Amino acid sequence: MQDAQFDQARLAFREAVWAGLQQEPKRIPSKYLYDAQGMRWFEAITRLPEYYLTRAEVEILQRLPTLWPSHLPSPTAIAELGPGSGEKAVLLLRALPEVQAYIAVDIAAEALDAAVARVRQSGWAGLSYGQRGDWVHGFKWPALSASRRMVAFLGSSIGNFEPDEARAFLHRLRRHAESGELLLVGVDLVKDERLLWAAYNDPEGVTAGFNCNLLHRINRELDGNFAVDRFYHVAPFNAQASRVEMHLVSLCDQEVAVAGRRFSLRRGEQIVTEYSYKYTVEGFQALLADAGWKPAAVWHDHRGYFSLHLAASS
């Protein structure tokens, strides 16, 4: 395939896959898990009985109107990073009635469309739109007079960063924050390994489908020739690093081609597709403080599986 046929996003995807398949261990950034099909798989994951994360965070968001600290004025503008289907945006906007503008920031156009449509269908009448891009490169707020801003980063997506990257990312958000700006972050907590295993290794194979879709996506978009049935999904908990690691493991010695380049895999060799770091409440509060944020409140679901952290820039 000629370079001219690739748009910018596809070029970046190709470079990331080429680079990742030469690393040891092989690794492809998790942001590429989310094309239209990946989004559908992820939605199915959120409905699995074993995947407690979404239900736990939704439970906290439903209680947000009673939890919100009385000394903190409600925001009037929200930028949500990685909104997915927009389900949580609707809850946030219901909980915080002073919000007048909602911006969804996502790398996947499908997520932006879905989230903004869901917000509008909910009957919410404020300004809402999507901004496509990688969070790491920042985003723009709308020009509004006298807005009180809040960045929402839900779903434990912060756990997909390595801790140093997470600190740098939070620090970047802090540097770009106005005085009094708020940050709301959903963070999954360290817990019994069996619960973590069950959440990422469901017996129905939905998480496996989500993970394997990455190889299908490479075949579709990058002229790849992965034989997807020669890989299996596994997501062990690495207790030392405090993270669940999603792997695609090669069932045999094999060669694959991606956009004209060839790579070999040994039997048993893995491609790492996602890290999901698990924090303690204290550990995450320390990370926030390190990055210059002032922790303002922290809430849990009733089982203490998941936490939602509210922090302020000053």
Ligand X SMILES: C[S@@+](CC[C@H](N)C(=O)[O-])C[C@H]1O[C@@H](n2cnc3c(N)ncnc32)[C@H](O)[C@@H]1O
Size of the site for ligand X (CB under 6 A): 18
Give yes or no for residue 139 binding ligand X (CB under 6 A).
no
Q: Which stretch binds ligand X (CB under 6 A): 77-85, 219-227, 249-257, 303-311?
A: 77-85
Q: How far is the CB of 4 from ligand X (least distance, A)?
A: 26
Q: Which stretch binds ligand X (CB under 6 A): 100-108, 201-209, 213-221, 262-270?
A: 100-108
Q: How far is the CB of 95 from ligand X (least distance, A)?
A: 15
Give yes or no for residue 88 binding ligand X (CB under 6 A).
yes
Q: DSSP letter string over 1-22?
A: --GGGS-HHHHHHHHHHHHHTT
Burial bucket for residue 210 (CB in 10 Å: 0-12, 13-18, 19+):
buried
CA distances to 202, 238, 295, 313 from 53, in Å: 14, 18, 22, 27
Q: How far is the CB of 202 from ligand X (least distance, A)?
A: 15
Give yes or no for residue 118 binding ligand X (CB under 6 A).
no
Q: In what order do the strands lie in the sheet with 127-132?
A: 127-132, 101-106, 77-81, 149-153, 182-188, 306-312, 294-300
Q: Are 207 and 196 in contact (CB under 8 A)?
A: no
Q: Which residue is nearest to ligand X, using beta carbons?
A: 155
Q: Are 151 and 181 in contact (CB under 8 A)?
A: yes
Q: Which of 13, 41, 42, 275 binds ligand X (CB under 6 A)?
A: 42
Q: Which of 154, 212, 235, 312 binds ligand X (CB under 6 A)?
A: 154
Give yes or no for residue 84 binding ligand X (CB under 6 A).
yes
Written as one letter, the residue type at 228 is V
Q: Which of 83, 130, 159, 224 binds ligand X (CB under 6 A)?
A: 83
Which DSSP letter does residue 279 get?
B
Per-residue b or e along 271-301, where b marks 16 or more CB atoms closer than 10 Å to that residue's CB: bbbbbbbbbebeebbebbeebbbebbebbeb
Q: How far is the CB of 262 from ligand X (least distance, A)?
A: 28
Give yes or no for residue 135 binding ligand X (CB under 6 A).
yes
CA separation for the pair 312, 177 (Å, rounded): 9
Give yes or no for residue 134 binding ligand X (CB under 6 A).
yes
Q: How far is the CB of 154 from ligand X (least distance, A)?
A: 4
Q: Which of 48, 111, 150, 246 binds ligand X (CB under 6 A)?
A: 111
Which DSSP letter does residue 158 get?
G
Q: Which is nearer to ligand X, 265 or 308 (CB)?
A: 308
Give yes or no for residue 82 binding ligand X (CB under 6 A).
yes
Q: Which is nearer to ligand X, 89 or 271 (CB)?
A: 89
Residues in the site for ligand X, rule: CB under 6 A? 31, 34, 42, 54, 82-84, 88, 106-108, 111, 134-136, 154-155, 157
